[in-house]
A and B are shown apart, each in its own frame.
Chain A
Amino acid sequence: EVQLVESGGGLVQPGGSLKLSCAASGFNFSIYWMSWVRQTPGKGLEWVANIKRDGSEKYYVGSVRGRFTVSRDNAKKSLYLQMDSLSAEDTAVYYCARASGVNANWFDPWGQGTLVIVSS
Chain B
Amino acid sequence: EIVLTQSPATLSLSPGERATLSCRASQSVGNYLAWYQQKPGQAPRLLIYDASNRATGIPARFSGSGSGTDFTLTISSLEPEDFAVYYCQQRSNWPPYSFGQGTKLEIK
Chain A residues with CB under 8 Å of chain B are 44-47, 50, 59-62, 95, 100-101, 103-113
Contact = CB atoms under 8 A, between A and B. Distances in A.
A52 to B, nearest CB: 12
A112 B43 CA distance: 5
A95 B42 CA distance: 11
From DSSP, what is the main secondary structure of chain B's interface residues?
loop
Contacts of B55: 108
B43 to A, nearest CB: 4
Contacts of B36: 107
B45 A110 contact: yes
Contact of B43 (A61, A62, A95): A95
Interface of B: 32, 34, 36, 42-46, 49-50, 55, 87, 89, 91, 94-102
A50 B95 CA distance: 9
A47 B49 contact: no
B1 to A, nearest CB: 9
Contact of B46 (A62, A107, A112): A107
B71 to A, nearest CB: 13
Contact of B44 (A50, A104, A105, A110): A110
B99 A106 contact: no
Contact of B98 (A47, A50, A62, A95): A47
Which of A45, A95, A103, A113 gathers most chain B CB within 10 Å?
Answer: A45
